[in-house]
Structure 1
Amino acid sequence: MSAPPLGADGWWPEAIRYDTPYADDRPDPADITLLVVHNISLPGGRFGGPHVSDLFTGRLDYNTDPSFADLRGLKVSSHFFIRRDGRVMQYVSANDRAWHAGLSVFRGREKCNDYSVGVELEGTDDSGFEPAQYQALAVLTLALQSRYPLTDVQGHEHIAPGRKTDPGPLFDWEFYRKSWQALLNQKALDEPALVGASAGLRFAKGLLQSQ
């Protein structure tokens, strides 16, 4: 699977685009160094419906399910959402700030939304994830690296320990890293600059690296 780069406008041509009002400008558009992995399902544990996209775009009907009452008034978004079958949705240009991390800190830096890209995977802490999702995430990671100086990939649980638990214990960080590495190796001859820039990308290994 190839990894077409993002456009100069921060939109990925491989993703299905949904626009949201829940985004704003980054303090420093050149400071995009962190990729944050999340999980989400609405209602919890149910997959395939429109509700995640509705939440991220301000269109959620809170009367659809009793569990949605707690989401009333919530203004949240993510740059990307990866379905169980590997389809990718995009809500915010990666050039801009999505509202995904909340109260967060990484290596002493607070406000991770300022300098991160958020990717939600359709899933739960105890459901595990599909091979197609790992593959799509690996492709997306390389696409992001083609435009932004990413240095680290972390889970929401790592930048908001004690407050968040996703993507959870069943997210296979090593499988994700190996999937990414295999794609990177395929590009070694055609895109040596990308390979060189990717050499130092650091993946979370289950440690609370926000400390």
Structure 2
Amino acid sequence: MPLTLHHGWLSPARHCESPHQDDRPDNDISLLVVHCISLPPGRFGDAFIDDLFLGRLNADAHPYFAGIHQLRVSAHCLIRRDGELVQYVPFQQRAWHAGVSCFEGRERCNDFSIGIELEGTDTGDYTGEQYQMLAEVTQAVMQAYPAITPERITGHSDIAPGRKTDPGPGFDWARFKAKLEVRS
């Protein structure tokens, strides 16, 4: 089933609206940032990513969470290992995914970007289902926001060098871009 976009929400996707969002300073949505996340690090399939982005991560659920449970972060979407799509923030709103960041001399990338998380690690590989869903989401986003072109799709590591390393060397940019070209 093809993805559709209505009022900033993709369908079909599981919608879990995060409180960690706010209004963008303007409507210039012109960058897509690919991230990765797993909670605790290296573990997949739990509800902990939802809990973090929804502001309800239990600090006692795992020792790692003691240092992050108070963070106010979100992404627009998460793509799980099996290709499941979860959306936390409508695209017209600012998700809090990039932190201190800069793209082509412009700082505060959250202001003008869409953040897509892949369930994974900086050092691991991603699944075929994730590449497929990422290509589908990216096509829907590019159609809705034509300022996002293939040249304006980047990794978190590229907008926050030295601070972030995701999506990491296991992310196959050529494979992803080839899927985008096939779907064009």
Q: TM-score range by the shorter chain?
A: over 0.9
- Give the deviation of 1:170 after TM superposition: 0.8
Structure number with greater Rg is: 1
| 8 Å Cα contact 1:82/1:120 also seen in 2 | yes
SS at match of 2:86: strand
- Give the deviation of 1:111 after TM superposition: 0.2
SS at match of 1:141: helix
| 8 Å Cα contact 2:58/2:69 also seen in 1 | no
- Give the deviation of 1:3 after TM superposition: 3.9
Matched, 1:82 2:79: yes
| 8 Å Cα contact 1:42/1:52 also seen in 2 | yes
> 122, 146, 150: which one pairs with 1:125?
122
SS at match of 2:154: strand
Matched, 1:33 2:36: no
| 8 Å Cα contact 1:80/1:119 also seen in 2 | yes
Identity level (%): 52
SS at match of 2:5: coil
The gaps in structure 2 that reach 5 residues or longer are none
Matched, 1:97 2:104: no
- Give the deviation of 1:15 after TM superposition: 1.2
> 142, 147, 153: which one pairs with 1:145?
142
- Give the deviation of 1:72 after TM superposition: 2.9
| 8 Å Cα contact 1:157/1:164 also seen in 2 | yes
For the residues of structure 1 that align with 2:84 and 2:90, how far apart are their CA atoms? 17
Amino acid at match of 2:155: G
Amino acid at match of 1:160: A
Matched, 1:177 2:177: yes
Which structure has more strand as a fraction of its residues? 2
How big is the alpha-carbon RMSD for the aligned residues of Structure 1 and Structure 2? 0.9
For the residues of structure 1 that align with 2:72 and 2:4, how far apart are their CA atoms? 29
Matched, 1:160 2:160: yes
Q: Which residue number corresponds to residue 12 of structure 1?
A: 10
For the residues of structure 1 that align with 2:62 and 2:3, how far apart are their CA atoms? 38
Q: TM-score, normalised by structure 2?
A: 0.96
The ranges of structure 1 where at least 4 consecutive aligned residues each deviate by more than 2 angstroms after the TM superposition are 2-5
Q: Which residue number corresponds to residue 104 of structure 2?
A: 107
SS at match of 1:36: strand
Query: CA-to-partner distance for each residue in 1:91-137, whole Å, 9 max, x for gaps?
Result: 00001000000000000000000000000000001121001000000
Seen in structure 2, the aligned counterparts of structure 1 residues 50 and 147 have a Cα distance that, compared at 3 Å, is same
